[in-house]
């Protein structure tokens, strides 16, 4: 008992605090992931659960991985996912950067209000908000009508439209993803920009740089970690997004999340679903690695005493 207490006082706290996230990761990430990997190497059987190893089937069956490359359905789904997620990420960056920058430049009281507004959408159900967009994009909505009128106003007669076909397109997917994930871009960017020393901007101005040059030379390079953090926080969930493409997307060009869901629920092909899931994860590990490298480098620079 006393030995335990001693251990606890000497280093128990530290070990415990460091241990918790590891335990969490092992229990809720690594273990499930290993199960999924194991499942992806099984063979589909008409049993419950619908997969098995050995018996009539090969013990390890990598056929699913081969199918990823032979069946164009998967390649196309991956491509659609990457493009949609990529476009959404770039748009989030273009919209979110000025917003994050503005947040750092307004007065303290405004900053609190505006930050609240950025987070406010999370207080209503995500599904509700997607349904609201569906209503807005529908053929008979005032929103669509407004955009159609605008379109007809600025384009030649020949291109006139009754309404803009927005629903069930990749455009709709990207639009709703940008709307949904924008706060995930703004918040890390804001956290990054807010830490920058305003005296650096003044120093650059003092040395002859106009505001645009100050942004290019001083603000932008220093905000790269924030851009990467925000970019990954948008890109990774967007690439695996299921709900948004299911509700507003083009059913003929499904994204990868939809494929996984369909394989599980409709086709009851758990091994194939697992295979796709593993492939998606491998695809996402790349960017995450880049991110952690940047993070480590940024933190390394700081602990070395970047701030005098």
Partner 1 sequence: MPAAPHPAPPAPASAPSAQAPSALAPSAMARPFIRIEGVSKRFGSFQAVRDVDLTIGEGEIFALLGGSGCGKTTLLRMLAGFEDPSAGRIFIDGQDMTGVPPWERPVHMMFQSYAIFPHMSVERNIAYGLKHERMSAAQRADRVREMLDLVQLAPFAQRKPHQISGGQRQRVALARALARQPKLLLLDEPLAALDKKLREQTQFELMSIQSRTGVTFIVVTHDQEEAMTLADRIAVMDRGQVRQVGSPTEIYEYPNSRFVAGFIGAISTFAARVVRLTGEIAEVDIPAMDGTFAARSVPGLVEGQSVTLALRPEKISIAKTCPAAVNVVEGQVKDLAYFGKDSLYRVTLPGGDLISVHAVNARRADEGGRPADWDDRVWLSFEPGSAILLTD
212 forms part of the interface with partner 1 (CB under 8 A) = no
Residue closest to 89 by CA, chosen among 232, 257, 280, 220: 232
Which three-class secondary structure state does DSSP give residue 197?
coil
Contact residue for partner 1 among 128, 154, 158, 306 (CB under 8 A)? 306
Tokens 């190497």 belong to 41
Number of helices and strands in the chain (H, E): 16, 2
Minimum distance between the CB of residue 94 and partner 1, rounded to whole angstroms?
22
Q: Applying CB under 8 A, which part among 58-66, 134-142, 208-216, 285-293 lies near partner 1?
A: 208-216
221 forms part of the interface with partner 1 (CB under 8 A) = yes
- Among residues 60 and 203, whose Cβ is nearest to partner 1? 203
- Among residues 104 and 169, whose Cβ is nearest to partner 1? 104
308 forms part of the interface with partner 1 (CB under 8 A) = yes
Residues 6 or more apart whose CB falls under 8 angstroms from that of 50 comprise 44, 268, 269, 270
209 forms part of the interface with partner 1 (CB under 8 A) = yes
Q: Are 74 and 259 in contact (CB under 8 A)?
A: yes
Residue closest to 191 by CA, chosen among 228, 239, 244, 143: 228
Contact letters for partner 1, residues 263-302 (x by CB under 8 A):
--------------------------------------xx
Contact residue for partner 1 among 46, 156, 208, 286 (CB under 8 A)? 208
End-to-end CA distance of the chain: 47
21 forms part of the interface with partner 1 (CB under 8 A) = no
Which three-class secondary structure state does DSSP give residue 45?
coil
- Among residues 221 and 286, whose Cβ is nearest to partner 1? 221
Residues 178-207, interacting with partner 1 (CB under 8 A) = 197, 199-200, 202-207
218 forms part of the interface with partner 1 (CB under 8 A) = yes
108 forms part of the interface with partner 1 (CB under 8 A) = no
The Cα–Cα gap between 70 and 235 comes to 26
Residues 6 or more apart whose CB falls under 8 angstroms from that of 168 comprise 248, 249, 250, 251
- Among residues 163 and 209, whose Cβ is nearest to partner 1? 209
Binding site for partner 1 (CB under 8 A): 197, 199-200, 202-210, 217-218, 221-222, 301-302, 304-308
């Amino acid at each position: 008992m006393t030995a335990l207490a001693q251990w606890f006082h000497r280093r128990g706290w530290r070990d415990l605090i460091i241990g918790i996230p590891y335990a969490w990761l092992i229990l809720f990430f690594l273990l499930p992931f290993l199960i999924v990997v194991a499942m992806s190497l099984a063979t589909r059987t008409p049993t419950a659960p619908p997969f098995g190893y050995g018996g009539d089937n090969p013990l390890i069956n990598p056929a699913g991985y081969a199918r990823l490359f032979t069946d164009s359905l998967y390649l196309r789904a991956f491509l659609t996912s990457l493009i949609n997620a990529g476009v959404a990420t770039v748009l989030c960056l273009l919209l979110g950067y000025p917003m994050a920058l503005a947040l750092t430049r307004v007065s303290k009281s405004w900053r609190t209000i505006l930050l609240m507004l950025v987070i406010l959408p999370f207080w209503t159900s995500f599904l509700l908000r997607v349904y609201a967009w569906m209503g807005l994009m529908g053929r008979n909505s005032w929103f669509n009508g407004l955009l159609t009128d605008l379109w007809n106003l600025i384009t030649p007669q020949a291109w006139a439209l009754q309404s803009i076909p927005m629903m069930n397109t990749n455009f709709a997917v990207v639009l709703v993803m940008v709307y949904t994930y924008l706060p995930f871009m703004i918040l890390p960017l804001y956290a990054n920009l807010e830490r920058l020393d305003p005296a650096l901007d003044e120093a650059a101005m003092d040395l002859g740089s106009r505001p645009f040059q100050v942004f290019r030379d001083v603000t932008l390079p220093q905000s790269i970690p924030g851009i990467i953090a925000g970019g990954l926080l948008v890109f990774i969930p967007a690439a695996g997004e299921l709900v948004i493409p299911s509700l507003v997307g083009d059913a003929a060009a499904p994204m990868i999340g939809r494929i996984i869901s369909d394989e599980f629920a409709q086709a009851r092909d758990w091994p194939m679903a697992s295979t796709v899931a593993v492939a998606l994860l491998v695809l996402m590990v790349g960017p995450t690695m880049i991110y952690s490298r940047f993070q480590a480098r940024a933190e390394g620079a700081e602990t070395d005493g970047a701030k005098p």
